[in-house]
Copies of this chain bind each other. A is one copy, B any other.
């Protein structure tokens, strides 16, 4: 019934935490599991809700705290889309940017090496080097064919 969890990634995340002298708690494990299972881009509240199903003791404060830690360790990415709470995803997928469906709030991922290259070029032209970037396309579905 429950989605079968691929423990290997969770263990990899555990390693990453332990490697920097952090303790593995029930709460963190629950959150790691939830993050691993998520294939959408949940916000902190939603992650809290899901984590509580795994371990009822997980508090929202701990979700935020752990997400910060995971972000520092580069295990999750935080995305602050327009006018909405931040949403999170694990970093196991390679870098990508986002299309936000304005109607459904659905997120579609995409990559464009060409755009990335142009970004670096533009920055360099202004005497800068790109540390990170944010590229979001707020879109509507194209009504194709007949109305």
Contacts and interface: CB of A to CB of B under 8 A. Distances in A.
A130 B134 contact: no
Interface size class of A (residues with CB under 8 A): 20 to 34
A118 B118 contact: yes
B123 A118 contact: no
Oligomeric state, in number of copies?
Answer: 2
A138 B131 contact: yes
Given A82-B80, A133-B135, A141 B127 contact: yes
A15 interface: no
Contacts of A118: 112, 114-115, 118
Interface of A: 80, 82-83, 99, 101-102, 108, 110, 112, 114-115, 118-119, 122-124, 126-142, 144
